[in-house]
Each structure stands twice: as C-alpha cells, then as structure tokens.
Homo-oligomer: A and B are copies of this chain.
Amino acid sequence: MQFTSEQRLDGGVLEREFTLGEIPGILWTPGSASAPPAPAPLILVGHPGGLHKMYPRLVARARGAAAEGFAAATIELPGSGDRPRSAAAEQARADLHRALEAGESVDDGIIDRLVLPLVETAVPEWRAALDALLSLPEIGGPVGYSGGVIAVGIRLAAVEPRVSAALLFAGSFVPRTMFEEARQVTIPLQVLLQWDDEGNDRQLALDLFDAFGSKEKTLHANMGGHTGVPQFEGEAGNRFFARHLK
C-alpha cells in the first residue's frame, strides 16, 4: 500500500489517498496532528463504485465514523472510476438498464452476469486492503463492513473472519445463489432497506434479511427511494458499530 496524498480535514480527521497495486483507495483516521490516535477499530466503507463521484457521501460517512473513534477506509470497485472496464460487466449493466427502463422484471441471468464476477474480483481486493490496513499502527481492529454493494458485503461477511459486524444496504441486486451464502453469515448485522427502492425488489430484500444466519440482525426499513436513506441512519449505524466494534 502506497500513500499518494494526505490532508487534514477540519475536525482533525486525517485523509490519505493510497494505491494498493492498481487499486485506488482512501483511508480516514480520527485524531489531530498534535495527538496521534490510539489504534482504532476500522470500518470498511462500501459503495456502488466511483470514488470521485461518491466522495462527498463517503467522506461524510467517514467523518461520522471518526467522531465515534473509528478509522474508515474504502477502495475502488473493479470496473469503476478510473479502473479498467470489463466488457462483460458493461454489457450486463446495459442489459439491466434496458430491462428497468422497459419496466420489465430483471432476468436472473443479467444479475448473475453483473454481480457474480464483481463479487469474485472485489472480495479478494477488500481482503488484501484489510491485510495492508491492519498492518498500520494506527489501525487496531476490530473491523466492520458498511454499505453496498450488498453482494460484496455478504461474501465478505461469509468468508472473512476479521469482519465482525456489517451494516448492509439492501439496495442492489443479489444473485439467487448468494442467498445460500447469506445463510452462512453469522456476525451481527444491521440491514437498511428503502421501502420504495425503484430498482430493487422489496420482497427479495425481506427474503434476504430472513435468510441471514446471524442471531443478531436488525432490519431498518425507511420510506422513499434508493437515494433517500434518512440522515439519522448514519447515527444509527455508528451506534450499531459502537456496540460491536468497541
């Protein structure tokens, strides 16, 4: 992991851009220049891809996490932002948009072609990022995963023992084969659902919540569409992680 830039945000959060091989990422750590922080628990900040476009929302989440004493980090998804596109994924995305615009139900095959390769590539990358981040003296663990793409979060929660709690946004498509992986997830979960999400099937999201194997799992369903997650859920998420990462 190579740090490529560094700035101190107002409030004292240190923001550092890095690259992990070809993958760009951002790390935020709490504290101030005069008082370097104790090793902090880490929240992996998931997103739908496109670090530049997502930056305002990502930094807001990182600031909220830092206010609770958490470090936060994110990396670019394969095929997004400045990373090379995959022709197959672009085709699947085009097929998805065509189906949604035509008001058709989305074929399972499209979801599989779009999401499964993403999960296969992204999850090892997040795990490699975790190796690098946990080797920093300012990061102490434990580790939480927060956000979407939910299929990435499911796989990561199922296979990565260092992730000990996850806040998942049930706002994107999940291949049906991944419901079996959801049953293998046993860590504490908080799942966000937007009740009127345009591009997401409410019943499938409820079925997915039901499928998770975790003994402690909480569903927070709010009104509105995909981008309408209420601001108070940020605070609720921090409280969830405070219960499980401290």
Contacts and interface: CB of A to CB of B under 8 A. Distances in A.
Copies in the complex: 2
Interface string A217-246: 111111100000010100110010001000
A220 to B, nearest CB: 6
Interface stretch (A46-54, A160-168, A208-216): A208-216
A94 interface: no
A88 B214 CA distance: 43
Interface of A is mostly: mixed
Interface centre among A210, A215, A217, A221 (most CB of B within 10 A): A221
B232 A223 contact: no
A159 interface: no
Interface in A112-158: none
A32 B19 CA distance: 57
Contacts of A215: 223
Nearest to A222: B218
A221 B223 contact: no
A195 interface: yes
Contacts of A210: 195
Interface centre among A206, A209, A218, A235 (most CB of B within 10 A): A218
Interface in A64-109: none
A216 B235 CA distance: 17
A211 to B, nearest CB: 12
A63 to B, nearest CB: 19
A219 to B, nearest CB: 4
A221 B209 contact: yes
A218 B216 contact: no
Given A206-B206, A219-B222, 10 more contacts: A195-B219, A214-B223, A217-B223, A218-B220, A218-B221, A218-B223, A218-B230, A219-B219, A232-B239, A232-B243
14 contacts: A195-B219, A206-B206, A209-B221, A217-B222, A218-B220, A218-B221, A218-B222, A218-B230, A219-B220, A219-B221, A219-B222, A220-B220, A232-B239, A232-B243
